[in-house]
């Protein structure tokens, strides 16, 4: 298998004399037409093909002709036999959860209390217990927190939701009378 770069002017047709039975378009910026040729004649066509197109015609080709409507440089892989080329081209943009966040110090007592109000737009939630001694117990279903029902966050621990986040009200109860060292961040 070999790779080739071909540079086109707008509307240009370029014919390459080469023997093979496999072709893949590795890079294009717009569509190209491909004529599969054998012994001077066209036996198959692929029209307006773009990056990623691959073909293994039933019969070997002795030439390939490419036509590009616009000026561009393409890259192709051509081979005789089985082949594959698993390479991505272009720009990858990862779009994640982003936006404004609120961060606040919260006090958790030994009675269940609202930590955060319900928020249907919440995409991120982080609760950290910065106290040296007291545990906190958190519920995310909108119901009152109890030591038996809540998720325990020990001193120095945290609970984070970054791929899924609850929208219901968040309640907390502590193992000590007053814990003013809790941080809640939501976005």
Cα–Cα distance for residue pair 175/135, rounded to 1 Å = 5
Looking at residue 80, its pLDDT comes to: 85
Tell whether 34 is covered by a domain: yes
pLDDT (tens digit, 0 to 9) for every residue of the chain, 187 residues total?
788 999 999 999 999 999 999 999 999 999 999 999 999 999 999 999 998 899 998 889 999 999 999 999 999 999 887 766 665 556 666 666 677 889 999 999 999 999 999 999 999 999 999 999 999 999 999 999 999 999 999 999 999 998 889 999 999 999 999 999 999 999 8
Tell whether 94 is covered by a domain: no
- We report the CATH number of the domain holding residue 178 as 2.60.120
Tell whether 87 is covered by a domain: no
Looking at residue 90, its pLDDT comes to: 61
Using an 8 Å Cβ cutoff, are 51 and 28 in contact? yes
State the residue range of the domain holding 106.
102-186
Residues 70, 115 within the same domain: no
Residues 39, 108 within the same domain: no
Residues 72, 113 within the same domain: no
Counting Cα atoms < 13 Å in the Cβ hemisphere of 5 gives: 4
Cα–Cα distance for residue pair 108/110, rounded to 1 Å = 7
The single residue listed with the structure tokens 């791929």 is 163
Q: How far apart are the first and last CA of the chain?
A: 51
pTM: 0.51
Looking at residue 94, its pLDDT comes to: 60
- Name the domain count of the chain: 2
Looking at residue 91, its pLDDT comes to: 67
Q: Residue 60 gets which letter from DSSP?
A: -
Looking at residue 99, its pLDDT comes to: 77
- How would you classify residue 98: left for phi > 0, otherwise alpha for psi between -120 and 50, otherwise beta? beta
Using an 8 Å Cβ cutoff, are 79 and 2 in contact? yes
Residues 73, 134 within the same domain: no
Cα–Cα distance for residue pair 159/173, rounded to 1 Å = 15
CA-nearest of 120, 106, 86 to 153 is 106
């Amino acid at each position: 298998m070999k790779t080739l770069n071909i540079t086109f002017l707008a509307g240009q047709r370029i014919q390459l004399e080469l023997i093979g039975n496999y072709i893949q378009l590795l890079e294009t910026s717009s569509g190209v037409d491909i004529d599969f040729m054998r012994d001077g004649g066209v036996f198959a066509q692929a029209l307006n093909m773009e990056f990623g197109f691959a073909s293994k015609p039933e019969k070997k080709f002795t030439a390939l002709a490419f036509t590009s409507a616009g000026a561009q440089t393409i890259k192709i892989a051509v081979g005789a036999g089985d082949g594959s080329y698993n390479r991505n081209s272009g720009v990858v943009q990862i779009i994640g959860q982003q936006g404004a966040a609120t961060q606040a110090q919260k006090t958790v007592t030994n009675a269940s209390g609202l930590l955060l109000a319900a928020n249907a737009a919440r995409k991120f939630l982080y609760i950290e217990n910065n106290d040296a001694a007291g545990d906190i117990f958190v519920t995310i279903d909108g119901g009152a927190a109890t030591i038996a029902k809540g998720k325990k966050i020990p001193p120095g621990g945290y609970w984070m939701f970054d791929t899924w986040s609850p929208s219901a009200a968040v309640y907390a109860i502590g193992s000590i009378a007053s814990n003013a060292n809790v941080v809640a961040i939501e976005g």
